Amino acid sequence: MLKGRFDMHTHTTASDGVFTPAGLVHMAYELGLSGLAITDHDTLHGLDEAGDAIAALNMRLLPGVELSCEYAFSGGPAREVHMLGYFIEKPGEELYARLAELQAYRWRRGQKILDILAALGMDIRGDWTAAYAENGSLGRGLIGRKLVEAGYAADTDEAFDRWLSPGKPACVPRLKLAAAEAIELLHRNGAVAVLAHPVQIGDDRLIKPLA
């Protein structure tokens, strides 16, 4: 049983977060949390660093992941959903292989977005991408922040509203697992599967079939 105050959904620079895994752990400590779950998008790369940082702080780390998925009612369009996996203590080769596929696609997608932005007159490509190559974490959140830094948007909300959101000029579809596949994959690796931010999905009908 978990006791105390936990943040159960966080991202680090291993995917699209702002802070390094160690930096996020120390921030949680300074805020008086008992622990936190690291749930980066489609990767487990930040867990080792977070585990090393948290070991001396009398806090608990919940190793996790957030998988990009989709679910479709019979005959209806697919809806994007995200599935959190908690307590990934001993991930197997199958999970690592699937995450590697998702990370590779995420990297190619990020490069396509940068190419589109460059063609639109906003070339923000540069040496900074090399820092994110190892774990394929070139996501829209990072690209949005770079657009802000370059002066093309006032904030990331504007970057998404004008270029990066679905239907906008620089939006490239992401590779998604079927929701049932993601749940089964997490269960086979000893994880607890939890639907992420259901309010943002905007369709409560999804909850019962996914459960």
How crowded is residue 118: how many other Cβ atoms within 10 Å of its Cβ?
13
pLDDT value, residue 10: 96
Mean pLDDT of the chain: 90
Helix (H) or strand (E) holding 84: strand 78-86
pLDDT value, residue 162: 96
pLDDT value, residue 117: 97
Only one residue has tokens 């930096």, namely: 23
Helix (H, G, I), strand (E, B) or coil at 68: strand
How far is it, in rounded angstroms, from Cα 5 to Cα 33?
5
Q: Which amino acid is at 178?
A: A
Question: Residue 76 pLDDT > 90, yes or no?
Answer: no
pLDDT value, residue 133: 67
Closest to 142 (Cα-Cα) out of 110, 176, 96: 110
pLDDT value, residue 174: 84
Question: Residue 91 pLDDT > 80, yes or no?
Answer: yes
How crowded is residue 23: how many other Cβ atoms within 10 Å of its Cβ?
16
Question: Residue 3 pLDDT > 90, yes or no?
Answer: no
27 vs 203 pLDDT, higher one: 27
pLDDT value, residue 134: 63
Q: pLDDT tens digits for 34-70?
A: 999 999 999 999 999 999 999 989 899 999 999 999 9
Q: From the DSSP assignment, how many helices (H) and strands (E) are in the chain?
A: 8, 6
Closest to 179 (Cα-Cα) out of 137, 211, 204, 139: 211
